[in-house]
Amino acid sequence: MTSSARRTVILAAIALSLALFACADTHKGEPAAPAGSAPGAKATAGAPASGPPAAQVSGTGAETGQAEPQVQASGNSRLTEDERNTIEVVRKTRNSVVYVTNLQYVQDFFYRSDQPVPQGSGSGFVWDDQGHIVTNFHVIAEGAKFTVSFPNQKQVEAKLVGRDQSKDIAVLELRERVAGLAPVVVGTSRDLQVGQKVIAIGNPFGFDHTVTSGIVSALGRSMLGAGDVTIRDMIQTDASINPGNSGGPLLNSSGELIGMNTMIASPSGASSGVGFAIPVDTIRKVVPQLIQFGKVIRPDIGGVQFVRDEVAQRAGIAGAVILEVSKGTSAYDQGLRGLYRDNYGRLLIRDVVTGIDAMKIKSYDDLFAALDGYKIGDTVTLTVAREGQARQVRIQLVGND
């Protein structure tokens, strides 16, 4: 064999060896196919290789190379009806809830100028398309300037229109026109039931647009408000209400306003506890007057001032103790009189209101709440005690100044 022929044979042998080695390596890799690849030759006869896999009794998707079951990968199908309802209420009211900042002017170090400094913050909600924002009185108390922030981070300066300290309600008005305002849908608190679902939206601890949910825990609660007068018929809820939630809306499952989140009762002093909201029926009475008059015009006896309840209680007096009666008023003409000094300079009590019509009055707080149920122009019968003797006095109610 010539040298040329030998080289040809050697090259052919080498080529054949390389081909056999490549085939052997290919067959070795088949059992280690990557997870998730098509089963290929293991597909059931008659079923297309790209079709859905046969049902497996055991083994995870990672083990079999199949995708996870569709029931785990779905979205809204995993939500309960209650969850879907909450999501829908939040979606509908997203642009109705705002962040309110209370600013005060403070002089700088060199006393050359006043600088606005945040005094506090809270929540509020859009009342109408005229730019009126409803919040708690204690959110804006002592503020000189106010800003309202919307969910899209737009900030607008606002002015104070009116406030009712006794009900802890205040109304702001945006200083510029804002397109796309979404007034909250006003419901009623008259037919609320203990146990029904409620949703609270606000800005606790500065975290904007925070949502909590719960139930109406109790109705008809009485709590001392910011004006040192008891706010009655409040809604108690277990929906979390924290600092910053004040002034935000409490909504029912239809997304209607049923109350305004106002305060927390927490014996431990913690920031969370039992929440209370002012009922919307009270808000509906107060807010239109604040917008129109800047204050609430309530039925009043007229020209009569009363001793603070804590003073009367320390003296052991049950009733609304009259401090002073202005001359020329109907109350003065009917013989009502306030405190006086005797010959020794001692301050003595004369008249104490202990009833109005059929209602017993144990304090001025009781009288204030009772008058709220009348209209200006109504005539009432007061039960008045003086030196242990009771008499009846008829008075026509007038508007308070």
Full residue range of the structural domain in which residue 272 is found:
185-293
Name the band, by pLDDT with cuts 50, 70 and 90, for residue 283: very high
Alpha carbon distance 140, 143 (integer Å): 5
Please indicate, yes or no, whether residues 285 and 318 belong to a single structural domain of this protein: no
Pick the catalytic residue: 132, 138, 189, 365? 138
Residue 192 lies in a domain: yes
Residues 381 and 332 in one domain: yes
Residues 216 and 147 occupy one common structural domain? no
Q: Is residue 78 a part of any domain in this protein?
A: no
Please count the structural domains in the chain. Answer: 3
For the stretch 121-138, pLDDT in tens is 899 999 999 999 999 999
Residue 54 lies in a domain: no
Task: Look up 123 and say whether it is catalytic.
Answer: no
pLDDT of 292 > 50? The answer is yes
Q: Give domain status of residue 368, yes or no.
A: yes
* φ, ψ at 386 (rounded to 5°): -140, 120
Output the pLDDT for position 303.
94
**pTM score, two decimals?**
0.73
Domain finish residue from 130, 151, 174: 174
Instruction: Point out the catalytic residue in the list 164, 168, 300, 309.
Output: 168
Q: Is 130 helix (H, G, I), strand (E, B) or coil?
A: coil
Angle CA 159–153–292, to nearest 5: 25
Which of 251, 272, 293 is the C-terminal boundary of a domain?
A: 293
Give domain status of residue 157, yes or no: yes
How buried is residue 279: exposed, middle or buried, by Cβ count under 10 Å (0-12/13-18/19+)? buried
Residue of 246, 351, 363, 365 marked catalytic: 246
Q: Are residues 189 and 155 in the same domain?
A: no
CB 163 within 8 A of CB 290: yes
168 is catalytic: yes
Instruction: Clarify whether 138 is annotated catalytic.
Output: yes
Residue-wise pLDDT for 27-55, tens only, equals 444 444 334 433 333 333 333 333 333 33
- Find the CATH number of the domain harbouring 216: 2.40.10.10
The answer to whether residue 208 is domain-embedded is yes
Has residue 86 got a pLDDT over 80? yes
Boundary (domain end) residue, out of 141, 174, 207? 174
Rounded to an integer, what distance in angstroms lies between the CA atom of residue 320 and that of residue 10? 123
Considering the domain architecture, whether residues 98 and 150 belong to the same structural domain is answered as yes
- Residue 39: the pLDDT is 39
pLDDT averaged over the chain? Answer: 82
Longest dimension (CA), the chain: 155
Residue type at position 38:
A
Q: Looking at the structure, tell me whether residues 284 and 197 fall in a common domain.
A: yes
Instruction: Specify whether 130 is located in the same domain as 100.
Output: yes
